[in-house]
Amino acid sequence: MHALVERLYPLCRSITGDGVRATLEIVGEHLELDVHEVPTGTQVLDWTIPKEWNIRDAYIKDRAGNRVVDFQRSNLHVVGYSVPVSATMTLAELRPHLHTLPAQPGLVPYRTSYYAETWGFCLSQDTLDGMDEGPYEVVIDSTLADGHLTYAEHVVPGRTDDEVLISCHVCHPSLANDNLAGIAVATALAGRLKEPRFTYRFLFAPGTIGAITWLARNRERTGRVRHGLTLACAGDAGALTYKRSRRGDAPIDRAMALVLRDRPHTVVDFSPYGYDERQFCSPGFNLPVGSLTRTPYAGYPEYHTSGDDVGFVSPRAMADTLEALWAAVEVLEHDGRYENLSPYGEPQLGRRGLYGSLGGRSDTKQAQMAMLWVLNLSDGEHSLMDVTGRSGLPFRAVAEAAAALEGAGLLKRVGEGA
């Protein structure tokens, strides 16, 4: 995962353009992708696909010909969607187009101007403080023209048409945590899935406009989405944070609460601000989609700055995010409702070989308790998630107990859980 982040990091992504295509080409080396191109001017819900932006070079040169600010060193140096510029300007003339972080003088900020035709440069406050009055040669070699918005899907077919939607955004330039770590973790999760119960749809799309475009083009499919997550900020050192869906008590909300129960974590209620969960949870769709991050957006000093580089994310943190996601997948895949076929008194487990099968296990007591809890709550109304929540036991132990009891003829599966 970290190697994928390193490879994607230099590419200049935006909400449209060749940087997005190059990103998806690399992801496509790991997953089979269905890539979609939606033309400029296409109406998508209340929005319109914008012009496509591409950039080849940009710089501010001093009188000696030195590039004081150089897009080739960092693609954060140019405000996203800047229109072409070729001019000679004094520092005073340049200043309205320069963006810095005075409180973090060594860092370069990330800025965009998607829907207003303007231009600008981002630089460190230290660099700005070292600039004289000029004049400077100012060049942005970019194009803003009719083109396409690009997004991609990877689908892992399941035994049912009911879907789990995993979404991550592909629109940020060189920002390792807020963008690339989510792409890398989603790619790894997709590669791990083998013959699941649900169909898993992985969406790699530009933020906001990409999710809106997918929703506009897939209205008929949204009814199949049983569970969903947006994935971002997946590689920093902070604890995991889960943001509930708009529904607040959807199965994905309950599953993530169980998964995070024994890990350092934070759970927050839904709000209509953040990543693309706000599009999926808009009232007309109201999909059961939550959001998983480590430190949330704007919650760390490096957020949307050059400090969010490949060294800021770690293999260990991304692996931890991946394992939490995998644990959630196991909950969603194996949840179900059962009926106890011997509900009058506690059935004798020993003569059915159920206690004997636990001999020598390090978790014998836990496995026995899981059997007793599953038997007691298997009334056709409670799911395995219900059993897990009430017993305090790990979901895996509860699911294994249900499988053993069903195999012994003591349980019958009567319905889906999640």
Q: Is 97 annotated as a binding residue?
A: no
Each residue's pLDDT tens digit, 25-80: 999 999 999 999 999 999 999 999 999 999 999 999 999 999 999 999 999 999 99
2-50+148-333 and 336-416 share one fold: no
Neighbours of 327 (CB within 10 A): 20
Beta-strand runs (E) in 232-384: 240-243, 265-268, 289-293, 336-340, 379-383
Domain 2-50+148-333: which CATH class? Answer: alpha beta
For the chain, the structural domain boundaries read: 2-50+148-333, 55-145, 336-416
* Whole-number pLDDT of residue 373: 95
Reduced 3-state DSSP string for 64-82: CCCEEEECCCCHHHECECC
CATH architecture observed for domain 55-145: 3-Layer(bba) Sandwich (3.50)
* Whole-number pLDDT of residue 362: 62
Burial of 365: CB neighbours in 10 Å, binned 0-12, 13-18, 19+: exposed
CATH architecture observed for domain 336-416: Orthogonal Bundle (1.10)
* Whole-number pLDDT of residue 361: 58
**Which amino acid, one-letter code, is at 279?**
Q
Q: Is 178 annotated as a binding residue?
A: yes
Rounded to whole angstroms, how far apart are CA atoms 378 and 384?
Answer: 8
Mean pLDDT, 10 residues at a time, over the chain (418 residues)?
A: 98 97 98 98 97 97 96 97 97 96 97 93 97 95 97 97 97 95 98 96 97 97 96 97 96 96 94 94 97 94 97 97 97 95 89 66 80 94 94 94 92 83
Q: Is the pTM of this model over 0.85?
A: yes
Each residue's pLDDT tens digit, 138-150: 999 999 999 999 9
Q: Is 126 annotated as a binding residue?
A: no
* Whole-number pLDDT of residue 339: 95
* Whole-number pLDDT of residue 415: 84
Nearest CA to 302 out of 97, 113, 109, 50 is that of 109
The Cα-based distances of 173 to 112, 206, 374 in angstroms read 10, 11, 49
